[in-house]
Chain A
Amino acid sequence: MNVNKHQRHWVAFNTLVIREVRRFLRIWPQTLLPPAITMTLYFIIFGNLIGSRIGEMGGFSYMEYIVPGIIMMAVINNAYANVASSFYSAKFQSHIEELLVAPVPNYLILAGYVAGGTARGLCVGLIVTIVSLFFTQQPIQHLFITFSMVFLSAILFALGGFINAIYARSFDEIAIIPTFILTPLTYLGGVFYSISLLPEFWQNVSLLNPILYMVNAFRFGMLGASDVPIYAAFAVILISIVGLTTFALYLLNKGTGIRN
């Protein structure tokens, strides 16, 4: 092939991303439909039924308050799940070898899978946002913060899903982290409440939860209200992305879980 290295890399990256996007679109009843239904239920039950009895939170109706958190929760879960299941399936069915024998550097493999996970996260985020418009139409206060935060969060959790898939030796092992770590952290990350409602000790404990920063920064972008400083949220997410990228590349270069 008479193409230069950069062109070859670009084509390989696009190929991988297209394959990943095609995968989650092909199985849309498993990937796109369930979050739309689940989040609709959240809006109806928590936002409408229970929310109407709760009253205001942070100066907003309860429905308005939980919308950013629920969108972010869907983005995080789906970005993570997409990469974890896709990469693990590729290992399980051995078709990861298609990539490993090809002249695709490890950083591109990582970038391709993470881009696929991010794409699904954002796709689901968009679907949930559209669903939320049936319940509330609060205008976005800070466009850049809103989009950058959702984008960076999707990248971060796609990276998390990738690392999970590298270590996983069974399908059970790609469900353990979301069930026992991700979901509790999300629920305790201020999706449904402001941490100002908690006693001081638990407020301080909550500040150790990285998802709190993402949910609050995203809420700040949409509503203009946050329990944490925005610069801290960006710092937490950017440092986490750099850390997880470095670790994922280290694992790929070492061949952990993929090369004998």
Chain B
Amino acid sequence: MKALTISNLSKTYSNGLQALNNIDLDVEQGDFFALLGPNGAGKSTTIGIITSLVTKTEGKVQIFDSDIDSDPEQAKSYIGLVPQEFNFNGFEQVKHILVTQAGYYGMTVAQAEPRADELLHQLGLWQKRHTAARALSGGMKRRLMIARALVHKPKLLILDEPTAGVDIELRRSMWAFLQQINAEGTTIILTTHYLEEAENLCRKIAIIDQGKIIENTDMKTLLNRLDKETFILDLKYPLPSDVDLNNLSVELIDDTTLEVELDREESLNTLFTLLTEQGIEVCSMKNKANRLEELFLSLVEKTELSA
């Protein structure tokens, strides 16, 4: 079953800006789906339309079995939204925010309170339950927004850059939490600027640029398309001047740092054999850029060139 079906969706703002140009997108139930794109590509507009915060110009959006135009209430009841910006009432207490949000979805206080307590524990906000939301740290505010989006147990969770400005430790704990709720059956759509995040979490991916979907596939297929990879090697000793690495695409960053670009067909063994023959010892190796990041940049550049 499809969790989200978007057909021929277009949006032109009143100032004439065409944010979306006839896009089609399907998200299967249970997917962890990445919706990526550069700033201004149309990601937030797409999410805005799905969640009824933005009115569309044309097209159809269906959430599970419900159309957002003909059955908006049912469609909305399936969705939980974590928006990019903090959008809760900072003067309200943390728990009140959750219980109130649950009430909008028809949960009585008796039903909402235990659910709010459960989420407050899970997201590490229990100690702050009686604190006014504005007094929370940035990371806690992010977690509060996730808790609020989940309070009515949505079938489709939409996260618009949920980890922006969050430290790496918290980001990783949020990843684990999101993976857990996805494993429990919640379909997740994620937009993020951290491509490492998308690569780690998502199984499906769509890339949107200039209001068009330029890629829509599963993560593995996309990553397999990467024809070159660049590695950074830290050497144990400075590189000798007479070393011969001509048959490799190599750039010397400094005396002990080497940047090597390999074709996808070339194995790392070939590289290491050659380095060993030259008496070069490698202490450590890493990818210059995240693999998805390289692909993303090449895809977006292509669109810009063709535009």
Which residues of A does B touch, CB under 8 Å?
1, 3, 5, 7-9, 11-12, 14-16, 18-19, 22, 26, 89-90, 93-95, 97-105, 255, 259-260
Report which residue of B55, B79, B89 has the largest number of chain A beta carbons within 10 angstroms of its beta carbon.
B89
Determine how close the nearest CB of chain A comes to the CB of B141; give it in whole angstroms.
13
Q: Are B81 and A12 in contact (CB under 8 A)?
A: no
CA distance in complex: A67, B18 (Å): 58
Across the interface, B88 reaches (CB within 8 A) one of A8, A18, A95, A101, namely A95
Interface size on B, residues (CB 8 A): 33
Q: Are A15 and B103 in contact (CB under 8 A)?
A: yes
With A259-B54, A260-B53 as given contacts, are A97 and B104 in contact (CB-CB < 8 Å)? no
Q: Are A94 and B152 in contact (CB under 8 A)?
A: no
Q: Are A12 and B104 in contact (CB under 8 A)?
A: yes
Q: Are A3 and B106 in contact (CB under 8 A)?
A: yes
On chain A, the residues within 8 Å of B153 by CB distance are: 1
On chain A, the residues within 8 Å of B91 by CB distance are: 26
Complex interface residues of chain B between 102 and 121 (CB less than 8 A to chain A): 103-108
CA distance in complex: A1, B152 (Å): 8
Is chain B's binding surface mostly helix, strand, loop or mixed? loop
Pairs A-B, 6 closest by C-beta atoms? A15-B103, A8-B106, A102-B104, A94-B87, A103-B73, A103-B76
Q: Does B13 contact A (CB under 8 A)?
A: yes
Across the interface, A1 reaches (CB within 8 A) one of B72, B90, B107, namely B107
Q: Are A102 and B54 in contact (CB under 8 A)?
A: no
Residue in chain B with minimal CB distance to A90: B89
With A90-B89, A98-B88 as given contacts, are A103 and B105 in contact (CB-CB < 8 Å)? yes
Determine how close the nearest CB of chain A comes to the CB of B220; give it in whole angstroms.
32
Q: Are A7 and B106 in contact (CB under 8 A)?
A: yes
Known: A1-B105, A14-B103, A259-B52. 5 other contacts (CB 8 A): A93-B87, A97-B87, A98-B104, A101-B81, A103-B77
Residue in chain A with minimal CB distance to B51: A101
Residue in chain A with minimal CB distance to B11: A260
Give me 14 A-to-B residue pairs in the complex whose CB atoms sit less than 8 angstroms apart, sorted by A's number: A1-B77, A3-B106, A11-B108, A19-B96, A93-B88, A94-B85, A94-B87, A95-B88, A97-B83, A97-B87, A98-B88, A100-B53, A101-B52, A102-B105
Which residues of B does A touch, CB under 8 Å?
13, 48, 51-55, 72-74, 76-77, 79, 81, 83, 85, 87-91, 96, 100-101, 103-108, 148, 152-153
Determine how close the nearest CB of chain A comes to the CB of B281; give it in whole angstroms.
56
Q: Are A260 and B13 in contact (CB under 8 A)?
A: yes
On chain A, the residues within 8 Å of B51 by CB distance are: 100-101
Q: Are A100 and B52 in contact (CB under 8 A)?
A: yes
On chain B, the residues within 8 Å of A9 by CB distance are: 106
Residue in chain B with minimal CB distance to A260: B54
Q: Are B77 and A11 in contact (CB under 8 A)?
A: no
Q: Are A259 and B53 in contact (CB under 8 A)?
A: yes
On chain B, the residues within 8 Å of A105 by CB distance are: 73
Across the interface, B73 reaches (CB within 8 A) one of A5, A16, A19, A89, namely A5
Q: Are A12 and B88 in contact (CB under 8 A)?
A: no
On chain B, the residues within 8 Å of A8 by CB distance are: 105-106
Determine how close the nearest CB of chain A comes to the CB of B246; give it in whole angstroms.
57
Q: Are A93 and B104 in contact (CB under 8 A)?
A: no
CA distance in complex: A102, B98 (Å): 13
On chain A, the residues within 8 Å of B53 by CB distance are: 97, 100-101, 259-260
With A259-B53, A260-B13 as given contacts, are A103 and B74 in contact (CB-CB < 8 Å)? yes
Q: Are B107 and A11 in contact (CB under 8 A)?
A: yes
On chain B, the residues within 8 Å of A97 by CB distance are: 53, 81, 83, 87
With A1-B107, A26-B91, A94-B85 as given contacts, are A15 and B100 in contact (CB-CB < 8 Å)? yes
Determine how close the nearest CB of chain A comes to the CB of B78; give it in whole angstroms.
9
Q: Are B104 and A99 in contact (CB under 8 A)?
A: yes
On chain A, the residues within 8 Å of B81 by CB distance are: 97, 101
Residue in chain A with minimal CB distance to B50: A101
CA distance in complex: A22, B77 (Å): 25
On chain B, the residues within 8 Å of A11 by CB distance are: 103, 106-108
On chain B, the residues within 8 Å of A19 by CB distance are: 96, 100
CA distance in complex: A8, B152 (Å): 12
